[in-house]
A and B are shown apart, each in its own frame.
Chain A
Amino acid sequence: MTRVIVNMPATATRGEVIEIRTLAGHEMETGFRRTQTGELVPRNIITRFTCSYNGVEVFRADLHPAVAANPLLSFSTVATESGTLEFRWTGDRDFNVSHSAAITVV
């Protein structure tokens, strides 16, 4: 059960800078730890986050080992037109979660 929380304004005025905060539930395993018998625990992290606004990518982040579990990403974009923002988290073990949110620009 993967949970994501996206916090952003539902409406904005044209040209306004809006802040978007996202939280994704993910355990995170660095890939550097070993079990008691010495085997390496395979890495399991989110490696990429993207946000597209009406199909146009406006923010992207590459994540690496040492990122916190349940990462919180906060960024901003300019409200240009009404539409949908699409958020996608991808990572190891075919981790692929998406979420979309609508925005009305007046």
Chain B
Amino acid sequence: MTARLFLFLLVFSAAAGAEIPLAERRSGYEFMARETRAMQDDDATNPAALWLLDGEALWNRKAGGADKACAGCHAVEKMKGVAARFPALHAGKLVNLDQRINLCRVEQQKAPALQLEGRDLLALAAYVGRQSRGLPIEIAVTSESKPFLEAGRAAFQRRQGQLNLSCAQCHDQNWGKSLAGSAIPQAHPTGYPLYRLEWQGLGSLQRRLRNCFIGVRAEPYAYGAQEYVELELYLMWRARGMKLETPAVRP
């Protein structure tokens, strides 16, 4: 009897700190006002469409010492599903889509890397991401990538900053409630890079993570930091199977 009660308590306490069950996951889209959803759904009103035009132009423009364009090697149709698989391993290193684009730029085009969070890189990432809109997120977990995923999970559950809060406390345990009048979403990165009305521009997932770090009064990492990419990997894995909305609109 005592053993059974102990087992029950053990299971119950494990459930309290657990991740959101797969069927209960909701995209940030579902927490938005009707007007903001309409803005995202219509390509004529989604302001990120302006970046898509830039991205398309950059995709087709020759650059660097090799005088090659992205389009010279890759048909854009082949980019379908690519954004749904990042971050991914590249020569043993975990890279996100922006970093992967820069690797191609440096190694293949022989051009200087684009500035992280700069307009050009965001435009290219949005254009590549757009090809995967509507496709489910597929993060492959292998023995090689597992340590990165676990590092990301640990970061998600680690309390940090002056407010001593972990990502999980808001986004796993208190989603759906309000924080200063705004709904707390589940933190699924389904639409990055996205147009955030607060930013009045396009931004990456790392920029969004930076906002949360500042929110809990922790010191944010520099753009491109390994810690961010691990967190991105965990968040994408956590949203596995959910559909990509890139480029999304968020309040």
Interface of A toward B, CB cutoff 8 Å: 1, 3, 5, 7, 21, 23, 25, 28, 68-70, 72, 74
A61 → chain B, closest Cβ, in Å? 17
If the complex has contacts A21-B44, A70-B47, A72-B47, are A5 and B200 also in contact, measured as CB distance less than 8 A?
no
- Who on chain A is nearest to B48 by CB? A70
Q: 9 A–B contact pairs at CB < 8 A?
A: A5-B53, A21-B44, A23-B44, A23-B47, A23-B50, A25-B50, A69-B200, A70-B47, A72-B47
* Chain B CB within 10 A, most for which of A1, A7, A68: A1
Which 3 pairs between the two chains have the least Cβ-Cβ distance? A7-B44, A69-B200, A25-B50
- Who on chain B is nearest to A72 by CB? B45
A41 → chain B, closest Cβ, in Å? 15
B57 proximity list for chain A (CB < 8 A): 1
Interface of B toward A, CB cutoff 8 Å: 44-45, 47, 49-50, 53-54, 57, 197, 200-201
Extra pairs beyond A3-B54, A70-B201 (9, CB < 8 Å): A1-B57, A7-B44, A21-B45, A23-B49, A25-B50, A69-B200, A69-B201, A70-B50, A72-B45
Whether B50 lies near A68 (C-beta < 8 A) is no
Number of A-B pairs whose CB atoms are under 8 Å? 30
Whether A5 lies near B49 (C-beta < 8 A) is yes
B201 proximity list for chain A (CB < 8 A): 69-70
B44 proximity list for chain A (CB < 8 A): 5, 7, 21, 23
Whether A70 lies near B200 (C-beta < 8 A) is yes
Whether B200 lies near A1 (C-beta < 8 A) is no
Q: How far is the CA of A23 from the CA of B47 in the complex (A)?
A: 7
B45 proximity list for chain A (CB < 8 A): 21, 23, 72, 74
A68 proximity list for chain B (CB < 8 A): 197, 200
Q: How far is the CA of A74 from the CA of B54 in the complex (A)?
A: 23
Q: How far is the CA of A69 from the CA of B51 in the complex (A)?
A: 13
Q: How far is the CA of A7 from the CA of B201 in the complex (A)?
A: 20
* Chain A CB within 10 A, most for which of B47, B49, B57, B197: B47
A87 → chain B, closest Cβ, in Å? 14
B50 proximity list for chain A (CB < 8 A): 3, 5, 23, 25, 70
A3 proximity list for chain B (CB < 8 A): 50, 53-54
Q: How far is the CA of A35 from the CA of B162 in the complex (A)?
A: 28
B53 proximity list for chain A (CB < 8 A): 3, 5
B49 proximity list for chain A (CB < 8 A): 5, 23
- Who on chain B is nearest to A70 by CB? B47
A28 proximity list for chain B (CB < 8 A): 200
A21 proximity list for chain B (CB < 8 A): 44-45
- Who on chain A is nearest to B200 by CB? A69
A47 → chain B, closest Cβ, in Å? 18
- Who on chain B is nearest to A74 by CB? B45
A25 proximity list for chain B (CB < 8 A): 50
Q: How far is the CA of A72 from the CA of B49 in the complex (A)?
A: 12
B54 proximity list for chain A (CB < 8 A): 1, 3
- Who on chain B is nearest to A68 by CB? B200
Q: How far is the CA of A9 from the CA of B232 in the complex (A)?
A: 41
Q: How far is the CA of A105 from the CA of B195 in the complex (A)?
A: 36
A1 proximity list for chain B (CB < 8 A): 54, 57
